[in-house]
C-alpha cells in the first residue's frame, strides 16, 4: 500500500491519500469527532487499505483546526474539510465519490455528500444535536464543571465554542435518492430522518467505540461488510490515476513551517515543526503520543505545543511509534503495543535519525509515552517531561500483554475477585505497597535513577490520581534525593489539582502547555 501525505487548502487539512494505479472510485473517509476519532483511527486506516485492494481509492484527513491540520476557527470547518478532501481525491483522476461516516462523522459525511454521491453511514447518531447532548452529559460526568471555560465547552476529546456547537447541532439527516447504506450495531436502528432505509447489522461496533483506546479492537468483519457494499455500488470500469495534488510543507505564523518525515528503519511517521531560522544550538523536542493514539482528540494538544515551542526557537518532532496512527502496517484485531520493547527501540531509532546531541535533546511523553521517554537511559537527554505518568515498570512488557492485563483487571473473574479480597484483607497495607513497588507498576526511584545519573532533569506533570500513585510508589524519596540545584540530574513534580489523566480537562491541558514550554526554556536558555 502506498499513502501520499500532505496538506491542502487554506486553512489547510492534512490528508492521507491512497489510490491504486487504476481506480474505480474514490472514498472520502470522514473522521469521527473527539475521542471517537482517537479510538477509530487505525480502523479507518484498515478500511482504506482494504478499499485499495479492491481497486478503490480513498482519502483520510484531519479537518482544519483539528489534529495535524492548519489552525481554523470557522464553525463550518468540519463539513468544509470533508468537501475539500473530496476535491483532493478528484485530483487523482477519480470521478465517482463515496462518503463514509462513522459515528459522529456520519452527519458530517451526509452534509458534505452531493446528491449524486454514494453515502455509507456506520453507527450514526440520530442527529448532530443528539450527539452533542450525549457528549455534554459524558463530559459533565468525566470532567466536571471545569469543562466550560470562557463559553468554550470541553467535550470528550474536543473543544467546541458556541458557534461550532450551533453548526453541529443543526446537522441532520434527510431521505436520499442516491445509493445509501446504513450499518448499525446489533439491535441498533438507523436515524429516523433517513426515512425507509433497511439497516445492516454489523458486529464489533460496540467493542470498537464504547471503551477506551486500550480496550478497542478493530472490527475486521464490519470493515469487510462496508468494503463489500462499496465494491458492489461503484463502477467496474477503472480510470488511470495520478498522484494527488498536495503541499509537502505547510506554512504557519511567525515563520514556522511543518513537513512530514519518516524516521528510522521502520519509517515511522512524524511531523516536524521548525522555525524558518533555527539556531544551530537550539533544542530538539520529541513528542510521544499517549498509549497507541494518534494526534487527534485530546492528544492534539501536541500540535498546539509543537507550534508554540517552534515559535520560541525549538525544532519539534511529533511521532507515531509502531502500532500508532500512521506508522506500521495495520491489521484486523491487531494487539496494542503498550510498555513494549518495540517502543523503546523506536525511540532510539528516532533519536539516531534526528542526529541531535544529547545536551540539545528533550523528550516529552504522555501516559505510556511518558514511560517511553523515561526509558531513554542510552540517549541521556537533557530534559524528560512525563505527562500523566501512571506506570513505573523497569522491564518492558511483551506487545499487547499490558492491554490484556488491563482487561483482566477491569473484568475480573469470580476467582480473581476472591483472591483479591483475601489478599487485601490478610496482607498489611505497608507490605502491599512495598510489593507494588516491585510489581507491575515498579517504583519511582528506580524508574528515574538511570536518567538522573546521566544528568537528565526529569519533570513529572500529574493530576490528583497520578500524583497519589507517584507518592505511594516512592516519589517523595526521589524528590528529596534529586532535588533541583544538586549535582547531576534532578526530579521535580508538578501537581495540577482538579486536572485529569487523559487531558480532557482544559485546566489540565493549559497547565501542561505552560509547564512544558517553561521547562524547555529553562533547560535550553540560549535558543530563546
pLDDT at 440: 44
Grid coordinates of 7: 496538506
Q: Where are the beta strands (DSSP E) in 346-413?
A: 361-366, 383-387
> How far apart, in Å, are the Cα atoms of 353 and each of 265, 288, 324, 399?
9, 16, 19, 24
Instruction: Please provide residue 150's backbone torsions phi and psi, each rounded to the nearest 5 degrees.
Output: 55, 45
Grid coordinates of 210: 464504547
Interatomic CA distance for residues 156 and 34, integer angstroms: 6
pLDDT at 417: 52
Instruction: Look at the block and give the residue holding cell 479492537.
Output: 217
Nearest to 249 by CA among 276, 281, 277: 276
pLDDT at 212: 80
pLDDT per residue of the chain (528 residues) written in tens, 0 to 9: 789 999 999 999 999 999 999 999 999 999 999 999 999 999 999 999 999 999 999 999 999 999 999 999 999 999 999 999 999 999 999 999 999 999 999 999 999 999 999 999 999 999 999 999 999 999 999 898 889 999 999 999 999 999 999 999 999 999 999 999 999 999 999 999 999 889 999 999 999 999 887 778 899 999 999 999 999 999 999 999 999 999 999 999 889 999 999 999 999 999 999 998 766 778 999 999 988 788 877 788 999 999 999 999 999 999 999 999 999 999 887 777 788 889 999 999 999 999 999 999 999 999 999 999 999 999 999 999 999 999 998 888 776 655 555 444 444 455 545 555 655 566 676 665 555 544 445 699 999 999 999 999 999 999 999 999 999 999 999 999 999 988 889 999 999 999 999 999 999 999 999 999 999 999 998 665
pLDDT at 90: 97
pLDDT at 418: 56
Amino acid at each position: 500500500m502506498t499513502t501520499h501525505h500532505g496538506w491542502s487548502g487554506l486553512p489547510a487539512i492534512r490528508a492521507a491519500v491512497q489510490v491504486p494505479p487504476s481506480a474505480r472510485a474514490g472514498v472520502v473517509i470522514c473522521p469521527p469527532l473527539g475521542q471517537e476519532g482517537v479510538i477509530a483511527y487505525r480502523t479507518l486506516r484498515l478500511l482504506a487499505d482494504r478499499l485499495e485492494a479492491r481497486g478503490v481509492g480513498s482519502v483520510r484527513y484531519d479537518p482544519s483546526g483539528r489534529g495535524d491540520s492548519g489552525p481554523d476557527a470557522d464553525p463550518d470547518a468540519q463539513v468544509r474539510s470533508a468537501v475539500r478532501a473530496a476535491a483532493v481525491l478528484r485530483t487523482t483522476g477519480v470521478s465517482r465519490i463515496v462518503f463514509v461516516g462513522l459515528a459522529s462523522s456520519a452527519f458530517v459525511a451526509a452534509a458534505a455528500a452531493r446528491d449524486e454521491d454514494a453515502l455509507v453511514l456506520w453507527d450514526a447518531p440520530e442527529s448532530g444535536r443528539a450527539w452533542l447532548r450525549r457528549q455534554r452529559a459524558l463530559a459533565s460526568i468525566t470532567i466536571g464543571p471545569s469543562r466550560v471555560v470562557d463559553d468554550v465547552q470541553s467535550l470528550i476529546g474536543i473543544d467546541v465554542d458556541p458557534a461550532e456547537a450551533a453548526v453541529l447541532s443543526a446537522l441532520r439527516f434527510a431521505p436520499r435518492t442516491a445509493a445509501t447504506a446504513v450499518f448499525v450495531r446489533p439491535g441498533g436502528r438507523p436515524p429516523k430522518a433517513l426515512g425507509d432505509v433497511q439497516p445492516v447489522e454489523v458486529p464489533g461496533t460496540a467493542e470498537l467505540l464504547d471503551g477506551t483506546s486500550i480496550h478497542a479492537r478493530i472490527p475486521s468483519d464490519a470493515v469487510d461488510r462496508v468494503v463489500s457494499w462499496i465494491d458492489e455500488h461503484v463502477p467496474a470500469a477503472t480510470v488511470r490515476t495520478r498522484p494527488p495534488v498536495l503541499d509537502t510543507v505547510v506554512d504557519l505564523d511567525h515563520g514556522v513551517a511543518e513537513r512530514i518525515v519518516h524516521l528510522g528503519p521502520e519509517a515511522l511517521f512524524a511531523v516536524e515543526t521548525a522555525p524558518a531560522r533555527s539556531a544551530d544550538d537550539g533544542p530538539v523536542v520529541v513528542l510521544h503520543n499517549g498509549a497507541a493514539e494518534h494526534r487527534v482528540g485530546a492528544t492534539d494538544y501536541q500540535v498546539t505545543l509543537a507550534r508554540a515551542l517552534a515559535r520560541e526557537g525549538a525544532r519539534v518532532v511529533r511521532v507515531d511509534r509502531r502500532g500508532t496512527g500512521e506508522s506500521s502496517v495495520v491489521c484486523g484485531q491487531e494487539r496494542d503495543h503498550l510498555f513494549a520493547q518495540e517502543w523503546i527501540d523506536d525511540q532510539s531509532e528516532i533519536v539516531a535519525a534526528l542526529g541531535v546531541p544529547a545536551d540539545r535533546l528533550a523528550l516529552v511523553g504522555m501516559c505510556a509515552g511518558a514511560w517511553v521517554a523515561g526509558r531513554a537511559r542510552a540517549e541521556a537527554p537533557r530534559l524528560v517531561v512525563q505527562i500523566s505518568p501512571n506506570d513505573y515498570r523497569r522491564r518492558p512488557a511483551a506487545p499487547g500483554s499490558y492491554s490484556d492485563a488491563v482487561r483482566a483487571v477491569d473484568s475480573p473473574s469470580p476467582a480473581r475477585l476472591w483472591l483479591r479480597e483475601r489478599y487485601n484483607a490478610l496482607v498489611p497495607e505497608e507490605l502491599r505497597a512495598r510489593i507494588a513497588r516491585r510489581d507491575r507498576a515498579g517504583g519511582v526511584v528506580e524508574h528515574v535513577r538511570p536518567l538522573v545519573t546521566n544528568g537528565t532533569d526529569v519533570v513529572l506533570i500529574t493530576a490528583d490520581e497520578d500524583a497519589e500513585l507517584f507518592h505511594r510508589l516512592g516519589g517523595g524519596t526521589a524528590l528529596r534525593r534529586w532535588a533541583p540545584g544538586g549535582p547531576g540530574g534532578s526530579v521535580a513534580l508538578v501537581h495540577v489539582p482538579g486536572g485529569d489523566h487523559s487531558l480532557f480537562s482544559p485546566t489540565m491541558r493549559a497547565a501542561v502547555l505552560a509547564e512544558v514550554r517553561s521547562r524547555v526554556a529553562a533547560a535550553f536558555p540560549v535558543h530563546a
